[in-house]
Amino acid sequence: MLRVVVLTSGGDSPGMNAAVRAIAKMGAARGVRVFGALEGYEGLIDGRFRELTRTLSDGSTSVDPEVEAAGGQGGTLIGSARSARFREAEGRALALRQLVSLDATGLVVIGGNGSLGGAHRFATETGFKVMGVPGSIDNDIGCTATSLGVDTALNTIVEACDRISDTARAHRRAFVVEVMGRDCGYLAMASAVAMAADAVLIRESGKTEAQLVGDVAQVIRTGFARGKRRVLIIKAEGVAVPCTRLVRLTEEALLPELPSLELRATVLGHVVRGGNPSYLDRAVAGRLGFAALGGLLAGATDEMVAWLPPVQGGRVTDDSSVQRFPLARVLEETQSLIDGSSPLAQRRLKLMSQAAGVLSL
């Protein structure tokens, strides 16, 4: 009976459990035993495996009930970690030995840029069959329109900002809300549009501290002058100025004009990562999980399954919404998203620039 290993690596994201469940369920249906490597690449190197399927007394294969139940939960049942050891050739060689000892024939890696980079190196060095699934709430992975956790994170941000807006209007206050997004401001941009925020601050704009303070001060000045009771600015964590410092500098700049200004900083932090996955994240996770295992069983390797890809050249699958792309290309597209040279990144920035005057109204 074939054996396949799945792991979740790097930052966790809602939907990882749903993808693991889908891979286990498809494996059980195809007579494949599916194992989870605990704590990502670290568990792979140490040979810490947990079987996610079960062989029943009649010889058939089923899914572990805990795996079945975890599909609707956030986090990751099999654990996640960042592995310095896997970045070294010796660590990858140990991982290969563990897979061979288990008699595994394929590996599914669910994670972000670093995790998929490790998967690519492992596949090219060892020849072992590897398939990637994009899992990152930042939506900073190339070749895919979304990755696991993005929709849930946005829903969490919107709900938090709704609550903040309630109290802001009650007291006529301004808030700067920081959301995750170290290298990519997608969460800030998308949530700002959904919330009709007054402004959005993203790393990609390349503004200096003085420019950011000036922009925030002007938005607050104009907003209250127009009779608003709530001014909301959403900031991506990738913006170099800390949220509390930005608020303090803005208060100092506005003190002569608005001595009674109440400006607050709220950092959502890891709240954005947690929570049960939304319908969309569960559905996308299931379909990407099916496609990933299906690709491995068909002999594909060193690829990533992508949802509604915004670029051309992917390999079609039985699912019209899912295509497979070589991991090398995914990593190239990801880097161009991060450094801003990607046409997609430039379109996002242009759109936000055009929307700036609308958001502030």
What gap in Å lies between CA 316 and CA 297, rounded to an integer? 15
What gap in Å lies between CA 235 and CA 243, rounded to an integer? 8
Active site residue 138: yes
Question: Catalytic one among 138, 151, 215, 281?
Answer: 138
What gap in Å lies between CA 219 and CA 147, rounded to an integer? 32
Element (H, E) at 199: strand 199-201
Phi, psi (deg, nearest 5) at residue 300: -75, 155
The DSSP bridge partners found for residue 230 are 173
What gap in Å lies between CA 305 and CA 23, rounded to an integer? 13
In the 8-state DSSP scheme, what is residue 285?
A: H
Per residue in 232-242, is it b (16+ CB within 10 Å) or e — as a string?
bbbbbbbbebe
Residue from 176, 153, 167 nearest 234 by CA: 176
End-to-end CA separation in angstroms for the chain: 63
Residues in the chain: 361
- Report strand pairing: 53-55 vs 61-63: antiparallel
Q: Which residue has the tokens 């991991």?
A: 327
The single-letter code of the amino acid at 122 is F
Cβ burial of 23 (10 Å; 0-12, 13-18, 19+) is buried
Kindly list the catalytic residues: 138
